[in-house]
Chain A
């Protein structure tokens, strides 16, 4: 129980640090983003200077001329109430853009994670089962080579050969020209568009199968497995209860690392595939110098990762009772 409390505090602290960091960075933005914004508003509109100041505050949630502690308080309050400011480029609130984009990103990331681990576990067990055989050597080599190729290289070549050359998959976008809503055509199109980004991540994650292989081999050689055989347990029981369970659990750590990496990696993938999720908006906002949107996306992606890690952490002790004590020691 104590551990849950500790972990919750840790998560809240991380979120707090990220918001504070965003505030500090907002004030340090290059080329005096605020000055540029002020000049633009004064030139292009006939607002009074007070109105301009109010508009700036709306854009990036801070009063640039306020003393820092008051600006900080206002920023924290606004952010905690879920107000991320106003996008300069799109002229809409960042909240709106984010709310629209984040489901798409989560869609890609969650599928990549699930399929990636599923495939990794199956390949790893296969390799361990046929240890030293042709399948093992072949898959191990593949795992190593695939693990050396960055996901964006996979993405580029998948795009060249499966989209531009053959037209099997769409070259960009989140969904085709179909009616939005809960219908078959829409869902099919969504999957069709998400396929390549997901596949690139899964291919690049193949190295996970190598650690699964190592774990399985270690488990296969252990004493309790011999005892289980002597007890006359069925092969299925041994595989599901002893081998799989004990081989999958250590992969959890790499799963945790993966969550963070995937949210980061999705930024690059979304750019390559023109997939309008959080990452795409974040990079686009860099190009258009739309700092409020950039900071908003950064904050939301980070908080999504923090929450995902938190949830993964909370569920883990339920799967593996050993972990709670381990965490307390560390």
Chain B
């Protein structure tokens, strides 16, 4: 533990040293402030990158690698990604009559997971659904955090009329139930692309994040460092990006994961009942076909329902574990240990930076 920390201490001071020697350092300390908003000097960017990498990747990783939930969650998610890519690259899509009809699972090497009523290979069908499902989940997650963060921060930071309008919109969306709205919108717009569907499925989900972000921003807005940035006259956008949003990272990350899970649940459910436009086959359509073709009351077709169900549940367990461990990563008590080291590092960095400036 302590060794790791000294290691990182070393690496940061290593990266810090070239800065001190850096030739491009501005002569006047105030120049930094002026240039910071639009043109970043190259060393400033790398240094900042290092800092962000440490705070957002290295440090969470230190907590997560000790947490079995995180490890299992990440393994599940990455195996889906890997299987999805490999399947998309090397596995031929399956069609009707690829194998014998109604072959149970684990009977044949050619069709390990068996076939359905029409001889479609269920393993290949399940695997080929992965890319589409993951794209959809990713699009929904990104849409949620962008909408939630932008609307929440602007509302909280701007205040006044802007806040009133944005908050009202947020509240209206929070009150409207998502699934019925999605069904109607799916009928009206019939989106076919996975990305569009992901966005459609989270059309109201961002509102919860927006509200949480807003109340956080209301607090941060009056914190000393934001006041300081405002006094120097930094543009609002810069303050929001550099002072406010980093503090919201916990909410945003956890919401990202849970939005992806929501997309998975609703997409499969709506495909199951046949409301979403049918494109390529996926787990929801598999369930729907099984349901409509009597797999419910024909025991020899049970695996037709079980396989997509297992695919959904395993992915969902992975997401839940991941989001619970993320909760832990951002838990102040767990972070406390790391924070101490972090503060030391920051001080050191500032020292180095200061030296660089005076040297310049």
Contact = CB atoms under 8 A, between A and B. Distances in A.
B180 A298 contact: yes
Contacts of A160: 296-297, 302, 305
Interface in B168-196: 168, 171-172, 175-181, 183-185, 187-190
B178 A28 contact: no
Interface stretch (B140-148, B242-250, B308-316, B352-360): B308-316
A221 to B, nearest CB: 13
Range of interface residues on chain A?
Answer: 35 or more
Contacts of B316: 148-150
Contact of A287 (B179, B274, B287, B313): B274
Interface string B285-317: 001000100001101001001000100110011
Contacts, number: 128
B266 to A, nearest CB: 8
Given A268-B273, A294-B184, A330-B215, A309 B317 contact: no
A232 interface: no
A208 B188 CA distance: 35
B179 to A, nearest CB: 3
Contacts of B312: 150, 153
Nearest to B302: A160
Contacts of A147: 320
Interface string A142-168: 001101111011001101100011000
Interface string B329-360: 00000000000000000000000000000000
A272 B324 CA distance: 31
Contacts of A156: 287, 291, 296, 305, 309
A140 to B, nearest CB: 11
A148 B172 contact: no
B172 A14 contact: yes
B180 A264 contact: yes
A25 B188 contact: yes
A287 B278 CA distance: 13
A306 to B, nearest CB: 5
Contacts of A10: 168, 171-172, 175
A266 to B, nearest CB: 9
A306 B190 CA distance: 26
B270 interface: yes
B290 to A, nearest CB: 9
B3 to A, nearest CB: 32
B187 A30 contact: yes
A52 interface: no
B138 interface: no
Main secondary structure of the interface of A (DSSP, over half): helix
A17 B185 CA distance: 15
A22 B185 CA distance: 10
Contacts of A149: 313, 316
Contacts of A17: 172, 176
Interface in A1-49: 10-11, 13-14, 17-18, 22, 25, 28-30
A282 B274 CA distance: 12
Contact of B177 (A29, A153, A157, A264): A264
A191 interface: no
B175 A305 contact: yes
A80 interface: no
A115 B291 CA distance: 28
B273 A267 contact: yes
A28 B188 contact: yes
A29 B188 contact: yes
A29 B186 CA distance: 11
A148 B313 contact: yes
Nearest to A159: B296
A84 to B, nearest CB: 14
B326 interface: no
B265 interface: yes
B35 to A, nearest CB: 38
Contact of B291 (A18, A28, A272): A272
Contacts of A28: 188
Contacts of B269: 150, 152, 265, 268
A248 interface: no
A283 interface: yes
A302 B180 contact: yes
Contact of B168 (A13, A153, A267, A298): A13
Given A156-B291, A302-B177, A268 B172 contact: no
The 6 closest A-B pairs by CB, nearest first: A264-B179, A148-B317, A164-B297, A148-B316, A260-B177, A271-B273
Given A30-B187, A260-B178, 7 more contacts: A10-B172, A30-B190, A150-B265, A156-B291, A268-B179, A298-B181, A305-B175
